[in-house]
Structure 1
Amino acid sequence: MYIRRQQDYVWIHIVVFLCICDRSASQISYSISEEVNKGTVVGNIAKDLNLNVQELETRDLRIVSSHSKRYFDVNLRTGNIFVDERIDREELCPNVVKCLLKIQAVLNNPMAAHRIEVNILDINDNSPAFIEKTYSLNISESSLTGERYLLPIAVDADIGSNSVKTYKLSQNEHFSLDVQSGGDHGVSAELVLQKALDREKQSVITLLLTAVDGGKPAKSGSLQINVNVLDANDNIPNFSKSLYKVRVRENTPPGTVVIKLNATDLDEGINSKIMYSFIKRGNIDPSNIFDLNAETGEITVKGTLDYEETPAYEVRVQAMDQGTSPRSAHAKLLIEIIDVNDNAPVISVTSLMTPVKEDAELGTIVALVTVSDKDGGNNGVTNCKVIGSVPFKLKSNYKNDYSLVVDGPLDRENTSLYNVTVTATDEGNPPLSSFRVITVHVSDVNDNAPRFMEPVINVYVKENSPIGSVIYTINAFDPDMETNAKLTYTLLDSYPKIFQ
C-alpha cells in the first residue's frame, strides 16, 4: 500500500530538454510533485549532461540557487539530484499557475554552469473552504421565480484540476443552483428561485452549499446558507450593465475616480432609493483598495495599486433599494491595472569563483550573474553589461542568466584586484537601471624570471683572503610573490672551485 501510494503521489514525471548554448551553459528541466519525501530522486544530472559519474566528484559538482532553503542536492556517486527539503507548492508559489524552482549545477576544471528548472507539480492536499462561517440571504416572498442570488465562493490553495471545480446544493423545494465557469477566475454559483416563497408557511430556509474540487479523490467544503423570507418590494434595481470594464494605471494617486456605477429602480419613494456597496467574496475585500460612494455609485482609488502584486481585480458590486424589505441586484466590475516601469532590475551574483589565476584563458568563468525585474512586458525586459575598460565581459547563458568571463590578458604584477561594475537596464519608458560591483582578485603564477641588479659584476679579491671570507653580496629580485619569488643562488660549474 505504501509503495502504491508513493507511485500515485510521488511519481515523478521528468521531461528533460537539453539546449547546450556553449561549453559553459545549458538548460535542463525536470518536474516533481510537491510534498515528496526527502531523498526522492528528481533526475540524473550525469546522464542528462552525458558525463561520466567519476567526473562529478573530480570536477566538484555543486547545486547552487538563490533560494533561502536548500531544496535539492546531488549524490556525486550516482549523479542523482534528490529532494533535500520539504517542498510545499502553496507556500512556495501561492496563486501561481506554474511553479518553477530555478537552480544551477556548477562544475569545475573546466568551469561550466548548467541551469536547471524544476516544475513543482500540485497535488490535491488542500480542501475547498469558505471564508464565511454562515451566510444569510434576505429574500422577499414576492420575489419572482427565476430570480438569482450570488453566493460566496470557496477558496482552495491548490491549482488547476485540484482547485474548486463545481458546487452542489442540498435537496430543497424552492431553490436550484446555477454553477458558472469563469475561466481563469474559477467557478461561481448562483441561487435560482424555482418555487414562490411563503413567509407564513416558512420564514427561514436552511440550505447547505458544498464546494467540490477536481482532485482524485475529490475534496470538499460546505457552507450553511440561511434564507430569511421577507415581505416587500415589487421591482429589483437594475444596473445599466451586467459587466463593467475599466483600466487604471498602477501609479494612479488615491482619490482618482475609476468609474461611476448606475442602477435604476422603477419603484417610487424609499423603495426606489438605491444604495451601492461592494460584495466581499472569498478572501478579497475590494474596500481595502477602492472607495465606493454608497449614494452616487462613484468608485475611487483608495489604496496603492501594484500591477506586480495584482494585475486585475474582479469586483462584485450591489445595488440595494431602501424599502422595508430591500431588494438588490449585482453586477461584475473588472478593473485592469496597467503596468508602469516602477521596479528597477535586481542583479544577483549566485556564484563567485575568485581569485582568478593571471594566466587564465579567455572565456574562463569568474562569476554567475542573474538579473530579474518584477515589471511586465517591455518594462521587465532587461539588458546587462560591464561598464568600463576591464579584461572581463558578460556572456549570456539563458534569458536573464549570465556568466562573467575573462576577456583579456591578466597580469597580477600590474593589477591584482578589479572592481567590475555590472549594470542592468530595462526597456521601460523611461528605463530604470541598477548596478552591482563584483570584486575579482587575481592570483599569481610563476611567469617572471629572477633578474640581477647588474648584468656584469666586477669583484676584486685580495690574494691571501681567508677561506670563508665574504667578498661580495649579490642581489636579484623577482616580481612574482610568495614561493614564486623565493630565490636561491648557485655558481655555475664553469667558474673555478675556489668560490663556494
Structure 2
Amino acid sequence: MGLPPTGGGFWITVVVFCGVWSCSHAQISYSVSEELKKDSVVGNIAKDLNIDVQELQSRRFQVVAGSNKRYLDVNVKTGALFVVERLDREELCEGKQKCALHIEVMAQNPVKLYRVEVNVVDINDNAPVFPLQTLVKNITENVVPGDRFSLPGAKDLDVGINSVKSYVLSPNEHFTLDVQSYGEQSISAELVLHKALDRERESVIRLTLTAIDGGKPARSGTMAVIVNVLDINDNNPVFSKPLYKVKVKENVPSGTKLLTLTATDSDEGLNGDVVYSLVDQEGNSASSLFVIDSITGDITVKGKIDYEENPAIELRVQAQDRSLSPRHSHCKVLVEVEDVNDNAPEISVTLLMSSVSEDIKPGADVALITVSDKDDAKNGKVSFRISGHSPFQLQPSYKNSYSLVVSEKLDREQLSQHHVMVVANDEGSPSLSSTGVITVHVSDVNDNPPLFPAAVINIDVKENSPAGERLTTLTATDLDTGENAHVSYSLLDLEGSSTPVSTLMNINSLTGEVYTLQSFNYETIKRLRFQVQATDSGSPPLSSNVSVSVFVLDENDNSPVLLAPYSEAGSVSTESVPYSAEAGYFVAKVRAVDADCGYNALLSYHLTEAKGTNLFRIGSSSGEIRTKRRMSDNDLKSHALVVMVSDHGEPSLSATASVEVVVVESVERVQPSLRQVPLKEEAFSDLNLYLLIAIVSVSGLFLLSLAALAAARCCGSGGALGSCGAPVVTAHPDGSWSYSKATQQYDVCFSSDTLKSDVVVFPSPFPPPADAELISINGGDTFTRGHTLTSAGKVRQLARIH
C-alpha cells in the first residue's frame, strides 16, 4: 500500500506484513525520504493494522521506549505515525546502503505489540567534496601520451544513485580524464596525458576537476589541479598488475605478511630504483592497519583487523623511483577479511511494565527481547531459549526479536519476583553464548483472607474483675502485602444472642486486643460466646471469623444462706430434748446454701458456743445437731447453741444460726418425728405411720415456704446469657425434693436408711463421680455441685422410729 508523494519530492511507501504470527506481532514497513519536516505523516497505523481509531486512546496506543522513539510518534486521535524530529539519513546510518528505524508500538487492555520498520530513503542533499581544494602535480616533460596520474576521489555522504557517479575535467590540450568504476560505491578518476608536454612552452597547467553525483538534480564539487612540468626522469615504475586481491582472517596477529608487490622502472640508477609506500586515503582509516616495506614491497599487518568494522579494505600503493624528479605509479590492493566467530550474541531487553500483577492472564506480554550477533553467516546465526523452569515463555516476533509472555498463573505469596535466565547461542565453531537475567517483579492482589491460628479460642476471666481489663490479643495473619495485609478487627454477635456483645466487650480494631466493658458475675453469666471478624484493607476486602468463648471463673463472693426455720437474721429457734434422750438423739438440722460453685460452695457446720456441759455435737457436713451423751442432773435445762456455716473459699465466708435447746421431762411433750435416733425394727407399727404422715406434712409446708422465697428472689434478679438466680427447692409427691438454680436443675432425694435427709444432686446426663463433693443443704441435705439426678434415681424416704 502506498501513499501519495508529499511536497518537496519526499515520498512514503507502506508495506504491512502479517504472516504466520497474529497481527499483534505484525511488522509494518514504511519507506520515507530523509529530511522530512517535523510533524510530517509517515503513515496511518490504525488503518494499516485494521484498528478502530476510537480504540487508540482507550487502549493507550503509544510508542514504547527505545533509541528511535525520539524520531517518530503516533497521533492517538487519527492513528497517524508522524515525524517528531528531523530524519538525517547520513547521521542515522552513515554510509550504509540500507537505513531502517525500528520502533515498537504498544496497545494496552490487552497488551499488544506492533513492530514498525521505517526505511529512510536517501535524497540528494549532499554534494561531492574533494579532500583537497588544490592538488599540485609534478610531471616531467618527457612523459609519453597515455601516461596516467592518480587523482584523489571525491566523497559524497549520499549513497546509491546520489553518490559520485562521474568526473569531468576542464577542457585542455594535454590531459584527458579516465574514470574507472569498481562497483556502485567505488569510482576513481585518473589524469591521462593526451599530448606530450613541453615545459618550455607551458611549465604550469591549471585544471579543474569536477565530481558529479547521480541525483536529480545532480550536485557537484570541484578541485583545482595544478600540473608542474619537470624536465627529468621520463619513465614511471610499473606494477606487475594494476589490481591485487588477497584474503585474510580477522584477528590475525600483528606482523602477518599478506603479499609482496613488485614494480619495475626502465630507468637506470636512482631513476630506476623503486620505493613503495601506502597512499593515505581520506576517510579510509583501515589503511592504517597495514604497513609496506619500502624496499621489498611486502605488505604486513600492524593493527587489529575486525571483520565487523571492515569486511573489505582497499589499499592504494605507490611505487616511486629515487630520481631527483621521481616518477611514480599506483596500484590497488583489495583485502577481503574473512569472518571468525569472535563475537558472542548480544541480548537487549525492554520491560513493558515495571511490575506484573499476580492475577495477570497467561499470554500477556511482559518484555521485548532483541538478540543480535555482529558476526556473519553461521557465526551470526543465533538460537535463543529460557534456561530452567519458568512461568514465562518466549514467542518469536520477527527476525531476532522475541516477546517474553506469561505462560502460567503467578502467585506472589510463593515467589514475589522471578529471575528469568535467557541463553543465546550462535552456530559458530566453537559456539559462543551469552546469558541475561530478566527480573520480573510480581505485584500483590488481595487473594488471601486473614487467618486466625485456631477456629475456636477460649478465654478465662475472673468474676468481679474490673471493667476495662485486657483479656487477650487476637492476631490474624494475612499472606498478602501492603494494604492487602493490613488487618482490622471487629466483634460479631452469634445468631440468636439476646444481648449484643458490644455492650459487654470491646476490641481494638488495629491491635486485636479484647477488653471488658463491665465486671462479670459468675452467678449471672458463666460463659459468653461471640465472634471476632478480621478484615483486610484490600479491594474488595476479605475477612474470616473466629469463635471466642469467655468463661467466667467463680470467686468466693457469696456467703452461705441459711434456710428456714433458721434463715431469719437475729432470730433464735427453740428445740426440745427429753431428759431421757440417749446419746446420738437427733435435736435439729441446720440447712444452708451457697450461690458459688465448687469449693466456694462446699459448706461445713460447727458449733461456736456450747455453754454448760459438753452435751451436743453437730455433723460438719450434714448440719445435724445430736446429743453426745445421756442427760444428768448437773446439766442445764436450757442450752443456747450458735451454729456457724462456713464455705471452703479463699477467704472463707460464713453465716451463723442461733438454736436454743430446752430439756423437758416427758417424752410426750416432744414431737415424735425427727427427735429420736432411728433404730432398726422388724415391723412397721401404727405409730410409725402417724409419724411418717406428720413428717411429710411438715416437710411439705417447709418446702412450699422455701419455694415461695426462692421464686421471689429469682423474680428480683433477672439474668441474661446464662444467669443463675436464687435456688428453688420443690417437694415432690413421692417425698423427694428438686433443687434448681436458674438454668441449672437439681433433683434432691432422701436417704433410705437414716433421717439425715441427705440430698445428692447429679448433672444430667453424667452419673455422680465416686469422689464427688457433698455440699450441705438445710443442715443435713448434701448435694454434689453442678449435678442433676433423674427421677428414676430418686430414693424415697423411709422413716423408722424406735
SS in 1 for 2:13: coil
CA contact (8 A) 2:69 2:103 kept: no
Please tell me whether Structure 1 or Structure 2 has the larger radius of gyration of its CA atoms: 2
State the shift of 1:91 in Å.
Answer: 1.0
SS class of match (1:60) = coil
Query: Which residue of 2 is the match for residue 227 of structure 1?
Result: 227
- Tell me which residue corresponds to 2:142: 142
Equivalent pair of 1:65/1:102 in contact (CA under 8 Å): no
Contact preservation (8 Å) 1:346, 1:373: yes
**Deviation string for 1:192-221 (max 9, x for gaps)?**
211111111111111110001111211111
CA contact 2:278–2:291 (8 Å) conserved in 1: no
Aligned to 1:90: 90
1:380-459 map, 5 Å: 380-456=380-456
Question: SS of the residue aligned with 2:46?
Answer: helix
- RMSD over aligned CA atoms reads 2.7
Taking CA–CA contacts closer than 8 Å with sequence separation of 6 or more, which of the two structures ends up with the larger relative contact order? 1
Farther-moved stretch of structure 1 (287-296 vs 263-272)? 263-272
1:402-423: CA deviations, max 9, x gaps?
1111122311111111122222
Q: Which residue does the alignment assign to 1:317?
A: 317
In structure 2, what residue type is equivalent to 1:494? E
Task: Classify 1:287/1:346 alpha carbon distance in 2 versus 1 (closer, same or farther; 3 Å).
Answer: closer
Measured after TM superposition, the shift of residue 123 of structure 1 is: 1.4
Aligned residues: 497
Measure the CA separation in 2 of the matches of 1:356 and 1:411. 11
Q: 1:473 to 1:320 in 2, by over 3 A?
A: closer
Q: How does 1:328-367 map to 2 (within 5 A)?
A: 328-367=328-367
Q: What does residue range 36-55 of structure 1 map to in structure 2 within 5 Å?
A: 36-55=36-55
Give per-residue Cα distances to partners, 1:351-375, cap 9 Å, x unaligned: 3323222222222211111122222
Amino acid at match of 1:139: I
Q: Matched residues in 2 for 1:23 and 1:225: separation? A: 60
Give the match for residue 74 of structure 1. Answer: 74
- SS where residue 57 of structure 1 aligns? helix
Q: For structure 1, list consecutive stretches of 5 or more residues without a partner in the other structure.
A: none
Identify which range, 345-354 or 460-469, moves more after superposition. 460-469
When normalised by structure 2's length, the TM-score is 0.58
Q: Aligned with 1:47: secondary structure?
A: helix
Q: Quote the Cα distance in structure 1 between the aligned partners of 2:199 and 2:463.
A: 139
> Does the 8 Å contact 2:23/2:49 carry over to 1?
no
* Structure 2 residue 154 is the aligned partner of structure 1 residue 154: yes
Q: Structure 1 residues 21 and 301 mapped into 2: Cα distance closer, same or farther (>3 Å)? A: same
User: 1:280, 1:286 within 8 Å by CA — same for their partners in 2?
Assistant: no
Q: Verify the 8 A CA contact 1:154 1:211 in the aligned structure 2.
A: yes
Q: 1:464 to 1:22 in 2, by over 3 A?
A: farther
Q: 1:46: how far off? A: 0.9
Native 8 Å contact 1:355 1:442 kept in 2 = yes
Does the aligned pair in 2 maintain the 1:19–1:28 contact within 8 Å? no
- In the alignment, does 2:479 pair up with 1:479? yes
CA distance in 2, matches of 1:115, 1:445: 32
Alignment CA distance shift 1:65-1:248 (3 Å): farther
- Which amino acid in the other structure matches residue 160 of structure 1? G
Partner of residue 495, structure 2: 494
CA separation of 1:5/1:472 partners in 2, compared to 1, >3 Å: closer, same or farther?
Answer: closer
Shift of 1:458: 5.9
**SS across alignment from 1:270:** helix
Instruction: Decide whether aligned partners of structure 1 residues 286 and 239 sit closer, same or farther in structure 2, where only a CA change above 3 A counts.
Output: farther
Q: Residue 17 of structure 1 aligns with which residue?
A: 17
Q: Which amino acid aligns with 1:401?
A: S
Q: Structure 2 vs 1, CA of residues 48 and 429 (structure 1 numbering), >3 Å: closer, same or farther?
A: same
1:68 to partner: Cα distance:
6.8
Alpha-carbon contact 1:165-1:186 (below 8 Å) kept: no
User: Residue 196 and residue 236 in structure 1: after superposition, are their counterparts in 2 closer, same or farther (change >3 A)?
Assistant: same
- Given that 1:23 and 1:112 are in contact with CA atoms closer than 8 Å, whether structure 2 keeps it comes out as no
1-structure distance, mates of 2:7, 2:430: 52
1:60 and 2:63 equivalent?
no
- Three-state SS of the structure 2 residue aligned to 1:130 is coil
Q: How far is the alpha carbon of 1:487 from its aligned partner? A: 5.3
* SS of corresponding position for 1:91: helix
Q: Distance in 2 between matches of 1:11 and 1:437?
A: 42
Maintained 8 Å contact 1:379/1:426: yes
- In 2, the alpha carbon distance for the partners of 1:56 and 1:318 equals 64
Cα 1:281–1:457 shift into 2, 3 Å: closer
The amino acid that maps onto 1:496 is S
Whether 2:213 is the aligned partner of 1:244: answer no
Q: Which moved more, 1:94-103 or 1:320-329?
A: 320-329
CA shift in 2, pair 1:369/1:187, >3 Å: same
Structure 2 Cα separation of the partners of residues 182 and 396 of structure 1: 40
Give the SS at the match of 2:15. coil
AA at the equivalent of 1:303: G
| Counterpart position of 1:268 | 268
Q: Relative to structure 1, is the Cα distance of residues 45 and 488 closer, same or farther in structure 2, using a 3 angstrom cutoff?
A: farther
Deviation at 1:74, TM superposition (A): 1.1
Whichever residue aligns with residue 248 of structure 2, its letter is V
What is the match of residue 123 of structure 1? 123
Q: CA deviation at 1:76?
A: 0.9
Higher mean C-alpha displacement, 421-430 vs 93-102:
421-430
Paired with 2:500 and 2:452, the residues of 1 have a C-alpha distance of 19
Shift of 1:274: 0.7
The answer as to 2:296 corresponding to 1:284 is: no
Structure 2 residue runs of 5 or longer lacking an equivalent are 502-802
> 1:490 Cα shift?
6.4
* Distance in 1 between residues matched to 2:489 and 2:54, nearest whole Å: 41
**Contact (CA 8 Å) 2:163, 2:185: kept in 1 or not?**
no
Corresponding position: 1:197 with 2:197? yes
**Displacement after TM superposition at 1:434 (Å):** 2.3
Question: Residues 257 and 481 of structure 1: is their aligned pair in 2 closer, same or farther, counting only changes over 3 Å?
Answer: same
How many Å separate the matches in 2 of 1:146 and 1:369?
60
- Rounded to whole Å, the distance in 2 between the matches of 1:69 and 1:458 is 65
| CA shift in 2, pair 1:95/1:314, >3 Å | same
Counterpart residue identity of residue 496, structure 2 = Y
**Distance in 2 (alpha carbons) for counterparts of 1:371 and 1:492:** 64
1:306 aligns with 2:302: no
Separation of aligned partners in 1, 2:336 and 2:461: 98
SS of corresponding position for 2:97 = coil
| Distance 1:5-1:104 versus aligned 2 partners, 3 A rule | closer
Q: 2:104 aligns to what?
A: 104
Contact 1:253–1:301 under 8 Å retained in 2: yes
Q: Distance in 1 between matches of 2:131 and 2:104?
A: 40
Q: What is the correspondence of 1:458-477 to structure 2 with a 5 Å cutoff? A: 476-477=476-477
Instruction: Look up the SS of the partner of 2:36 in the other structure.
Output: coil
2: CA distance between counterparts of 1:434 and 1:456? 57
| Residue 35 to residue 482, structure 1, CA distance change in 2 (3 Å) | same
Is the contact made by 2:25 and 2:397 (CA closer than 8 Å) also made in structure 1?
yes
* Alpha-carbon contact 2:287-2:313 (below 8 Å) kept: no
1:87-133, CA deviations, whole angstroms, 9 ceiling, x for partnerless residues?
Answer: 21111111100101111001111111111111011111111010012
Q: Deviations over 1:272-293 (max 9, x none)?
A: 2111122234432565221111
C-alpha displacement of 1:294: 1.1
Provide the C-alpha distance between the structure 1 equivalents of 2:423 and 2:255, rounded to a whole number of angstroms: 37
Q: Does 1:184 find its partner at 2:179? A: no
Alpha carbons 2:278, 2:316 under 8 Å: kept: yes
Please, which moves more after superposition, 145-154 or 100-109? 145-154
Matched-pair contact (CA < 8 Å) for 1:353–1:365 = no
Q: Could you tell me whether the CA contact under 8 Å between 1:64 and 1:351 is conserved in 2?
A: no
Q: Report the Cα offset of residue 85 of structure 1.
A: 1.2
Decide whether the 8 Å contact of 2:179 with 2:188 is kept in 1: yes
User: What per-residue deviation string (whole Å, max 9, x for no partner) do you get for residues 419-449 of structure 1?
Assistant: 2222222222222222222221112223334
Match of 2:607 in 1: none
